């Protein structure tokens, strides 16, 4: 018996969902809501520069129906359950994750862990803004991007203080010199 | 051991703390390295305190080929100082990165690199008796009043 074959975890979308839910975020939490899961796996694919999951540009940026469908399948199979708006692994899900880890490359695991640590404790607006800036084409069809771009300054500062972006990246996103950005932050210290 | 410095740590140590002389003395026991990109960033901007002469006395500058595996983490920007510092340390295992910014520090941790910050260097200078306790107190005051952003956590460490 292998959970990988029994539950079709050879499929990247299912495997990444199980793995993403077994990893800790920066606060040591494993559960995540659907928007964070979508963006964590998209960011992971951005980091590895390899697309295995189908994403389209929708109202909330790039989201994947394939992931949503896989998440439903995992719930029906009893590997994932939801508590409120958050999804988490069941005992069977955790066992499946342990099976998946050794057959996943160390580099992929590192990138997925990094993606979760980067994104899972961001607010919804911080998360969407970060992804819109990271992948500008994801702003196409977005109903949120214009509102968030109007709050660029505040959101960039929040992302910098949460150590999600560097000062160089922050300055670039705000189109200002890096030293001016750092000086402006020190005034708010 | 060698230390490879990022731009903001360099500016904090040389300009805010005025530690050029102490660093020069420290350079007798450890190599203090700055990628050329860091030097360019240090000279950039309109800060009145920049001092290229001291910078060149303290640091050995090096050309660095950016490690391609780091690029996605930096949004494919190979021009920032941190990616050059971390690239150098990835190829030179005896190197310790000197980075103050949280994001760069997280990348160092992700790749298992040795890491310190400007506060760690100040502590090293104290340990080598290159600055006195009184100077350390004055540095703490200057850091608090600095126009450069330093997180509260780092300030508490001095």
Distance in angstroms (rounded) separating the CA atoms of residues A168 and A174: 10
CB-CB neighbors (< 8 A) of B73 in chain A? 47, 114
Domain A3-120 has CATH 1.10.10.10: yes
pLDDT of residue B158: 66
Which one, of A110, A124, A10, lies nearest residue A59 by Cα?
A124
Taking an 8 Å cut-off on Cβ atoms, the answer to whether B103 and A189 are in contact is: no
Burial class for B120, CB neighbours closer than 10 Å (0-12, 13-18, 19+):
middle
A46 touches chain B (CB under 8 A): yes
Which one, of B90, B106, B5, B77, lies nearest residue A26 by Cα?
B106
Closest chain A CA to residue B112: A110
Q: What is the three-class DSSP state of A56?
A: strand
For helices A124-134 and A34-48, what crossing angle results, to 10°?
Answer: 30
Q: What are the pLDDT digits (tens) for B110-142?
A: 999 999 999 999 999 999 999 988 888 898 888
Taking an 8 Å cut-off on Cβ atoms, the answer to whether B72 and A183 are in contact is: no
Taking an 8 Å cut-off on Cβ atoms, the answer to whether A167 and B110 are in contact is: no
B8 near B41, Cβ under 8 Å?
no
- How far the first Cα of chain B sits from its last, in Å, is 23
Q: Encoding tokens for residue B135?
A: 């100077």
Go through A50-86 and write b for each residue having 16 or more CB atoms within 10 A of its CB, e for each that does not: eeebebeeeebbbbbebbeebbebbeebebbeeeeeb
Q: Encoding tokens for residue A137?
A: 């084409």
Which of A134, A162, A185 faces B149 most closely, judged by CB atoms?
Answer: A185
Residues of chain A with pLDDT under 50: none
CB-CB neighbors (< 8 A) of A110 in chain B? 110
CB-CB neighbors (< 8 A) of B47 in chain A? 179
CB-CB neighbors (< 8 A) of B99 in chain A? none
pLDDT of residue B3: 98
Question: What is the CATH number that goes with domain B2-157?
Answer: 3.40.50.1010
CB-CB neighbors (< 8 A) of A172 in chain B? 77
The alpha-carbon radius of gyration of chain A (Å, integer) is 18
Minimum distance, in Å, between the CA of residue A107 and any CA atom of chain B: 10
Q: What are the pLDDT digits (tens) for B53-104?
A: 999 999 999 999 999 999 999 999 999 999 999 999 999 999 999 999 999 9
Q: Encoding tokens for residue B71?
A: 């690029």
Q: What is the three-class DSSP state of A156?
A: helix
Distance in angstroms (rounded) separating the CA atoms of residues A81 and A65: 18
Q: What is the three-class DSSP state of B34?
A: strand
pLDDT of residue A23: 98
Q: What is the three-class DSSP state of A121?
A: coil
Distance in angstroms (rounded) separating the CA atoms of residues A170 and A157: 7
CB-CB neighbors (< 8 A) of B104 in chain A? 166
A24 touches chain B (CB under 8 A): no
pLDDT of residue A187: 66
Closest chain A CA to residue B102: A163
- How far the first Cα of chain A sits from its last, in Å, is 57
Distance in angstroms (rounded) separating the CA atoms of residues A160 and B118: 19
B22 near B125, Cβ under 8 Å?
yes
Taking an 8 Å cut-off on Cβ atoms, the answer to whether B101 and A167 are in contact is: yes
Taking an 8 Å cut-off on Cβ atoms, the answer to whether B147 and A187 are in contact is: yes
Distance in angstroms (rounded) separating the CA atoms of residues B60 and A98: 47
Alpha-carbon separation of residue A131 from A26, A27, A158, B20, B62 (angstroms): 18, 21, 14, 41, 34
CB-CB neighbors (< 8 A) of B101 in chain A? 163, 166-167
Taking an 8 Å cut-off on Cβ atoms, the answer to whether B72 and A110 are in contact is: no
Q: What are phi and psi of A95, to 5 degrees?
A: -65, -40
Residues in chain B: 158
Q: Encoding tokens for residue B126?
A: 């104290």
Which of A46, A110, A183 faces B147 most closely, judged by CB atoms?
Answer: A183
């Amino acid at each position: 018996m292998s959970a990988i074959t029994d539950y079709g975890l050879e499929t990247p979308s299912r495997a990444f969902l199980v793995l993403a839910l077994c990893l800790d975020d920066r606060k040591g939490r494993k559960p995540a809501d659907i928007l964070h899961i979508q963006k964590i796996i998209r960011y992971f694919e951005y980091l590895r520069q390899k697309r295995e999951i189908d994403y389209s540009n929708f109202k909330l940026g790039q989201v994947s129906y394939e992931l949503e469908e896989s998440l439903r399948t995992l719930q029906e199979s009893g590997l994932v359950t939801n508590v409120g708006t958050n999804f988490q692994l069941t005992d069977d899900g955790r066992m499946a994750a342990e099976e998946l880890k050794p057959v996943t490359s160390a580099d992929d695991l590192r990138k997925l862990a990094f993606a979760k640590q980067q994104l899972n404790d961001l607010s919804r607006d911080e998360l969407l803004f970060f992804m819109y800036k990271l992948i500008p084409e994801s702003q196409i069809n977005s109903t949120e991007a214009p509102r968030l771009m109007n709050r660029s300054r505040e959101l960039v500062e929040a992302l910098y203080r949460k150590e999600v972006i560097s000062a160089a990246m922050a300055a670039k996103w705000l189109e200002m010199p890096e030293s001016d950005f750092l000086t402006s932050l020190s005034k708010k210290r | 051991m060698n230390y490879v410095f990022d731009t903001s740590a360099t500016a904090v140590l040389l300009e805010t703390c005025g530690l050029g002389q102490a660093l020069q003395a420290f350079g007798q026991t450890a190599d203090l390295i700055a990628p050329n990109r860091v030097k360019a960033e240090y000279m950039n901007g309109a800060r009145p305190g920049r001092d290229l002469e001291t910078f060149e006395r303290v640091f050995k500058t090096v050309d660095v080929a950016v490690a391609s595996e780091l690029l996605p983490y930096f949004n494919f920007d190979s021009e920032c100082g941190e990616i050059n510092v971390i690239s150098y340390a990835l190829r030179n295992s005896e190197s310790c990165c000197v980075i103050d910014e949280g994001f760069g520090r997280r990348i160092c941790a992700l790749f298992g690199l040795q890491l310190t910050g400007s506060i760690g260097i100040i502590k090293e200078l104290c340990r080598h008796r290159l600055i006195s306790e009184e100077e350390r107190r004055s540095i703490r005051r200057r850091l608090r009043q600095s126009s450069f952003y330093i997180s509260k956590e780092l300030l508490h460490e001095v």
